Amino acid sequence: MKRLLVLAFLLSAVHSFAQKPCEFSTNVTDSLGTYKTTKEYMIYEKNFAGNASYIFNSIVVTDGTPMLNIQFIEKSFDFIKSKCLDKNSKLYFQLTNGRIVTLFHIDQDICGNMVRDEKSMNNRIMSGYFMFKKDDYQYLKSSPISLMRIRYATETVDYVIKKEFKSELNGETYEPENYFINFFHCIDDK
């Protein structure tokens, strides 16, 4: 029995220490309510033939309701086709344990903006908010992500999530497959 208790303690201690420290870009409480968002974290990067794609996640809590904010950035000297999110858009995460977690886009049509930078490069930027189902919290906090599928308004795109990569954009090392394991505790009030 002692060994079982010691083993349980060690497993919970390892899980606690594996989580990353919380960094918030916004943490506000006022007469209108509360709003808290984690710092943006790169979960996907692709650079090929002068084209670049980046996806950043942040977890947002508004008055106790958690959502996932995803920001898409595409860069190219060529024209960038727009991808839009609508009321039927969904975000799917396939976990390494085989489970699929579905998040639902809030009822808002978004296509992002095209901006040309000082190097005459086209940049398409879009942000979308997706709602978690309460039952899926525990799955996301306990199993790594292997694949992310986004159902846009007119197409579905799969993104393979890496265990770890060093970003060509900023030189930082990211662990996207453990994003929820490392950061979901930052907004978990339980």
Please list the ranges in the chain whose pLDDT falls under 70: 1-19, 188-190
Q: Distances from the Cα of 117 to the Cαs of 62, 75, 130, 142, in angstroms?
A: 33, 10, 29, 41
pLDDT tens string 82-120? 899 999 999 999 999 999 999 999 978 999 899 988 888
pLDDT on residue 165? 95
pLDDT tens string 166-181? 999 999 999 999 999 9
CA distance 132 to 103: 5
Tokens of 53: 């794609």
pLDDT on residue 145? 96
pLDDT on residue 18? 55
Structural contact between residues 68 and 59, judged by C-beta atoms closer than 8 angstroms: yes
Cα dihedral angle (180, 182, 188, 190), rounded to 10 degrees?
110
CA distance 161 to 80: 23
pLDDT on residue 17? 44
Structural contact between residues 124 and 111, judged by C-beta atoms closer than 8 angstroms: no
Residue 107: Cβ-neighbour burial (10 angstroms; 0-12, 13-18, 19+) = exposed
pLDDT on residue 19? 62
